[in-house]
Structure 1
Amino acid sequence: MKLMAKCVPCPIYTSDPVKGPSPKELDSAAAAVVKRGLCLKVVLLTNPNNPLGVIYRRGVMLDCVKWARSKGLHTICDEIYALSCHQKNNAFESILKILDNDLRDDVHMIWALSKDFGASGFRAAFLCTQNVGLLNALGNLNIFTCVSHPIQLVTSDIFNDDLFVDSYLEEARLLTVKSKAICERKLDQMIIPYVKSEAGIFIYADFSAILPQPVTFSDEGRFSEILQNIAHVVSCIQKCILNGRLVFSLFPTIMTLKVMTPGSSQRETRPGMFRICYAWVSEEVLEIAMERISYIVFKIRKLGTRYRWDDISEKYLSEVTTCGISKSGSLHALSAIQ
Structure 2
Amino acid sequence: MQKVKKIFRQIHVIVWVLFTGLVSLQLYTDDHRHWVPFTVGFILTALHVFYSHFFLLTRYLGKNQKKAYFLRLTGIVLTGPIPFVFFHPKNTDTWDFFFGYYSITVFILVPIFLFLSWLARVTENLVLNTIKKEQLEKQAVETELHYLKSQINPHFLFNTLNNIHTLVYKQAPAAPEAVMQLASLMRYMIYESNAPTVPLTREINYLEDYINLQQLRYRKSPVVELEVTGNPDACQIAPLLFVHLLENAYKHSPARLEPGDIKVKVEAKAHSLAFQIQNPVGTNPQNTLEEPGGIGLPNVKKRLALLYPNRHRLEIDNSGETFTISLEINGTHAHVHERETHLLHH
Q: Same fold (TM over 0.5)?
A: no
Bigger Rg over Cα:
2
Q: Which has the higher helix share?
A: 2
Which TM-score bucket, shorter chain as reference?
Answer: under 0.3
TM-score scaled by length of structure 2: 0.21
